[in-house]
């Protein structure tokens, strides 16, 4: 039988939400086995003033003191790594295209001119996938992200899935991270950043990593 206090926390990506396709996929899979899973809204209704610090504060309020598995996608994967380095109660992690080196990714992708304009104007317009429209994000997101380690150093077992054709967070970031962490297994997939076309394959690998044959015995 499953451990009485087994639970999972799913952390969604940037400009996403608690009802994203990936979040819903894991909620359906785990809920069918009566495994508690929480998917907090990391922006708490204030996307414009979103920062790494504000999201970590949300997670701090919900993570609790009992053992917890973290599943995170993109920015949520980076946040999960930061939390694993902070909290002993995090037992395992599943990271989907984690946005390691977030600050440097933003700087490289936007370029100096757009970064300068973002700083001068105070906000940047980005597409919010959960809302299906453009939303403003304040410059403080970039400024705040600079203080956090690009590659959080945690020792818990972790499974990373990353698409070889990811043009948002290059797979090289996960290759570098996994190469320096023997506790991490990297699974490269012929897919892009979203990985939504590979969810069944991801689950086939995730299930035994998290639970061994426990779930199969409950069928």
| 93-128 pLDDT tens trace | 999 999 999 999 999 999 999 999 999 999 999 999
pLDDT 10s digits, 64-91: 999 999 999 999 999 999 999 999 999 9
CATH placement of domain 8-218: 3.40.50.1820
pLDDT at 218: 47
Helix (H, G, I), strand (E, B) or coil at 44: coil
Strands 133-138 and 123-128: antiparallel
For the entire predicted model, the pTM comes to 0.94
pLDDT at 212: 75
- Domains of the chain, by residue range, sit at 8-218
pLDDT at 216: 47
For the chain, what is the mean pLDDT?
Answer: 93
Are 205 and 95 spatial neighbours (Cβ–Cβ below 8 Å)? no
Q: Does pLDDT of 150 surpass 90? A: yes
Q: d(Cα 108, Cα 180) in Å, to the nearest integer?
A: 23
Looking at the DSSP bridge assignments, the partners of residue 73 are 96
Q: Does pLDDT of 167 surpass 60? A: yes
Q: d(Cα 24, Cα 94) in Å, to the nearest integer?
A: 15
pLDDT at 170: 97
Q: Could you tell me the strand order of the sheet in which 90-96 lies?
A: 37-38, 8-11, 68-73, 90-96, 158-163, 184-189
Strands 90-96 and 123-128: unpaired
Q: d(Cα 19, Cα 52) in Å, to the nearest integer?
A: 20
Is residue 5 very low, low, confident or very high in pLDDT (cuts 50, 70, 90)?
low
φ, ψ (nearest 5 deg) of residue 41: -80, 105
Residue 58: enclosing H or E segment and its boundaries? Answer: helix 52-63
pLDDT at 177: 98
């Amino acid at each position: 039988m499953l451990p009485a206090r087994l639970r999972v926390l799913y952390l969604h990506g940037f400009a996403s939400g608690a009802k994203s396709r990936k979040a819903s996929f894991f909620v359906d899979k785990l809920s069918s086995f009566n495994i508690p899973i929480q998917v907090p809204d990391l922006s708490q209704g204030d996307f414009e003033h979103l920062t790494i610090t504000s999201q970590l504060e949300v997670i701090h309020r919900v993570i609790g003191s009992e053992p917890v598995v973290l599943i995170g996608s993109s920015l949520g994967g980076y946040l999960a790594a930061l939390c694993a380095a902070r909290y002993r109660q995090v037992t395992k992690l599943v990271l989907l295209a984690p946005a390691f080196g977030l600050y440097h990714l933003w700087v490289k992708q936007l370029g100096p001119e757009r970064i300068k304009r973002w700083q001068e104007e105070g906000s940047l317009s980005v597409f919010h996938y959960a809302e299906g429209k453009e939303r403003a994000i304040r410059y403080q997101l970039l400024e705040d992200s600079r203080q956090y380690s690009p590659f959080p150093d945690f020792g818990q077992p972790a499974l990373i899935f990353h698409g070889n054709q990811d043009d948002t967070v290059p797979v090289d970031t996960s290759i570098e991270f996994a190469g320096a962490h023997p506790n991490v297994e990297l699974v490269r997939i012929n897919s892009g950043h979203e990985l939504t076309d590979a969810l069944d394959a991801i689950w086939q690998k995730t299930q035994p990593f998290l639970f061994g044959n426990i779930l199969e015995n409950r069928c």
